[in-house]
Amino acid sequence: MDTLFDILIEDDAQTAVAVFAMSEPDIELAAVQPWVSFCNDSSGTSPDGLLGQEFPHPRAYGTFPRVLRRYVREQRRMRLEEAIRKFTSLPASRLRLNDRGVIKAGMWADLVVFDPEIITDRSTFSAPKQLSVGMQWVLVNGVPVIADGAATGALPGQVLRGGGFRP
């Protein structure tokens, strides 16, 4: 315990751990269930700046491209449309974010344009800050944050708070 606390003090509590507790067959089985949605539970991160000081889990950079590459394109375990539903409308409905998750009038314009034939995660445990390839456009609240594959620097997002939030 003393060694652990020494490490945490030395790096200002930036130490993290990746635990390999899930088997690939279990992940594949869960991924194809119709009620399972995908998320990214990684904290905000960046290749540089203040948020670039951490050494994140690879999912911080590649969760959704990995699902599209591995389970849709390579293994054909699910259709592209089903993967997109598991990223968008399914989690939005579960979280009761009724104005998000589908493309329709009156909804927030959070959209992603990508090439399903080349989208690929590149992040690894030894080199986690590797941006995925294949993202052409990302719009948050209708404002491009990635345009023609490059970050725009725009920050149009907002904090979403669920029904249990108390200020």
Exposed (0-12), middle (13-18) or buried (19+): which is 65, by Cβ within 10 Å? buried
Task: Look at 89 and 20; give whichever has higher pLDDT.
Answer: 89
Please write the tens of the pLDDT for every residue from 74-121: 999 999 999 999 999 999 999 888 889 999 998 988 999 999 999 999
- Three-state SS at 164: coil
For position 124, what pLDDT does the model report? 92
- Count the domains in the chain: 1
Task: Determine contact, residues 103/84, Cβ cutoff 8 Å.
Answer: no
Mean of all residue pLDDT scores within the chain: 91
96 inside domain: yes
What residue numbers bound the domain in which 95 lies?
21-40+48-151
